[in-house]
Amino acid sequence: MEKFHVFGQFVRKPAAVGAVAESSRALAELITEAADLRHASVVVEFGPGTGAFTEVILRKIGPDAVFFAIEANESFAAATRKRCPGAVVFHDSATSVRQHLEASGRQSCDCIVSGLPFASFTPALQDEILAAVVDVLKPGGRFVTFAHLGGAFWPRGRRFRRRLEAEFPDVTVTPTVWSNLPPAFVYRAIR
């Protein structure tokens, strides 16, 4: 069961996993709506975990859209492949996104949906991933990620929001999804 899988990985690597439970269906719907996937031709997902967002992404993208996910945790990558057999899931770092885009014959993408726990990451890793996002996202492209309500107020969570606002001219925040464990909201950043 995914909720126990996420909890087990959290216990082993709390800074890398960042959550005690899988994201809720309500959060998956919200983040994919913020991404405006129906109009995207190339979509990348960072940190799919056990595939909660991946399932919804696959349902919402167009039939001709290119999609792949990048997951650093090997156990989570396997879980997403099992849950979403039609998805291409690379066991790699999000910072390798350009390599995977170029391997698929693309130079850029329209949208990046991220499940990464930025408030748990070091400032250097936050910067490295954001640089990779800016490098491959088309002008007008969308970067959507979520933050747990409590983590958004941690020093690294506040720093991430400042960095996001420094990199993107248009950053909006959705209402909080209280049914998620823990409650979370979505950042929508447009390049």
**For 125-136, how does the pLDDT look when each residue is reduced to its tens digit (9 = 90+)?**
999 999 999 999
- Residue spans of the domains in the chain: they are 23-190
Query: What pLDDT is recorded for position 6?
Result: 40
Query: What pLDDT is recorded for position 166?
Result: 97
Helix (H) or strand (E) holding 89: strand 89-91
Query: What pLDDT is recorded for position 22?
Result: 84
Query: What pLDDT is recorded for position 21?
Result: 66
* Topology (CATH) of 23-190: Rossmann fold (3.40.50)
Q: Please work out, in degrees rounded to the nearest 5, the angle formed at the alpha carbon of residue 36 by the alpha carbons of 118 and 77.
A: 45
Does the pTM exceed 0.85? yes
Which single residue is written with the structure tokens 């990779």?
132
| pLDDT < 50 regions, the chain | 1, 3-20
Query: What pLDDT is recorded for position 83?
Result: 96
Q: What type of residue is 178?
A: W
Dihedral angle computed from the Cα positions of residues 92, 93, 95 and 96, in that order, rounded to the nearest 10 degrees: -10
